[in-house]
């Protein structure tokens, strides 16, 4: 079945974002370079893997057919036949992951400017961190490499194996600046630490209460980016100095002992407020901590209002899982 007009337009847009020269540059940084001309050359395989993310419910050979037809229209290819699944698998293994990693770095370049709605606050570029899980094919290799949840304490595993994903996005555009993926057993904080290289001075990074930890805070704050995170209510944040806007300076005590990753205490500014949630009897208390210590530079009321922008990363993940991938879809990847 030939690719439809809409599919060709989508694939054409894909090659406009990832121009052949950009793909070739990414391939040049990979560990393996092709010497012989194959039926499935590396550039074609890169576009095939990118297209799989857009047409994730289509069979592999159909996605490859659509990509090849798009390339033929663009570059004037002659006759070409679709390879079998075994050949596609071998070509994918030859390609490796490094070229795609390079393309992620290229695609993650910031695109917003000061005029982009919701992208900046007081000159700081708004970024957001969050994580999710993705169901993958039920195979022994995926179960061993990724793991799967348990139905209850002491019970055996249930459901599909899961991959854990943490992303850093530009809040105003939903552009993914960086991402880290690993097995279900790996904590979100561990994956978030791997994204430190994408943080820069001039950013303000928002995160929900599932991520904060003294070690992760120290690692990401050391990048020069500013942080604004919600923390769990069980955190002890004693009032050491009350500031003019009602926020206060506090110290998060580092752990003690050889097994603790961050023994150092960290100084933070605390913003506390309550929200009335429709349908609930009690208001919900929020406590935020930030690296921005000066209330004149970041008034508490503005920080409280700004925290809602963190939902942009939730919206991004929802777009992927519900709209692009499809609710309940199991990914076909092999770990």
pLDDT at 246: 96
> Angle at which helices 42-54 and 20-28 pack, to 10 degrees?
110
Strand partners, 201: none
- Cα-to-chain-centroid distance, residue 175: 9
* CA distances to 89, 110, 201, 229, 324 from 127, in Å: 36, 10, 12, 12, 22
Q: Give the least confident one: 139-143, 155-159, 184-188, 308-312.
A: 155-159
Average pLDDT estimate for 57-85: 76
315 pLDDT tier (thresholds 50, 70, 90): confident
Q: Give the least confident one: 38-47, 77-86, 228-237.
A: 77-86
54 pLDDT tier (thresholds 50, 70, 90): confident
pLDDT at 38: 67
pLDDT at 186: 94
pLDDT at 247: 98
For residues 8 and 250, the model is more confident at 250
pLDDT at 230: 95
**Cβ density class 78-87: b for 16+ within 10 Å, e for less:** eeeeebeeee
- Does pTM top 0.85 for this prediction? no
């Amino acid at each position: 079945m030939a690719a439809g007009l809409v599919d060709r337009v989508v694939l054409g847009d894909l090659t406009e974002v990832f121009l052949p020269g950009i793909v070739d540059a990414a391939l040049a940084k990979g560990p393996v370079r092709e010497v012989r001309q194959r039926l499935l050359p590396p550039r074609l395989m890169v576009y095939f893997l990118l297209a799989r993310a857009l047409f994730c419910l289509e069979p592999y050979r159909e996605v490859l057919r659509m990509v090849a037809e798009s390339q033929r229209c663009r570059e004037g290819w002659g006759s070409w036949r679709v390879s079998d699944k075994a050949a596609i698998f071998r070509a994918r293994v030859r390609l490796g992951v490094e070229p795609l990693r390079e393309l992620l770095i290229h695609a993650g370049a910031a695109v917003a400017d000061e005029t982009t709605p919701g992208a900046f606050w007081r000159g700081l570029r708004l970024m957001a961190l969050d994580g999710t899980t993705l169901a993958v094919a039920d195979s022994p290799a995926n179960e061993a490499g990724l793991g799967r949840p348990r139905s209850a304490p002491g019970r055996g595993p249930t459901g599909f194996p899961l991959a854990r994903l943490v992303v850093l996005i530009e809040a105003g555009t939903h552009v993914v600046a960086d991402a880290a993926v690993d097995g279900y057993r790996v904590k979100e904080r561990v994956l978030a630490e791997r994204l430190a290289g994408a943080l820069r001075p001039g950013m303000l990074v928002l995160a929900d209460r599932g991520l904060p930890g003294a070690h992760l805070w120290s690692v990401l704050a050391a990048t020069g980016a500013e942080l604004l995170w919600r923390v769990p209510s069980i955190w002890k944040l004693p009032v050491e100095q009350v500031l003019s806007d009602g926020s206060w300076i506090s110290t998060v005590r580092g752990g003690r002992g050889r097994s603790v990753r961050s023994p150092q205490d960290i100084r933070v500014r605390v913003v506390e407020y309550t929200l009335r949630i429709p349908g609930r009897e009690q208001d919900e208390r929020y406590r935020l901590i930030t690296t921005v210590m000066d209330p004149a530079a970041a008034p508490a009321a503005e920080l409280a209002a700004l925290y809602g922008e963190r939902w942009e990363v939730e919206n991004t993940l929802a777009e992927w899982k519900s709209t692009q991938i499809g609710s309940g879809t199991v990914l076909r990847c092999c770990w």
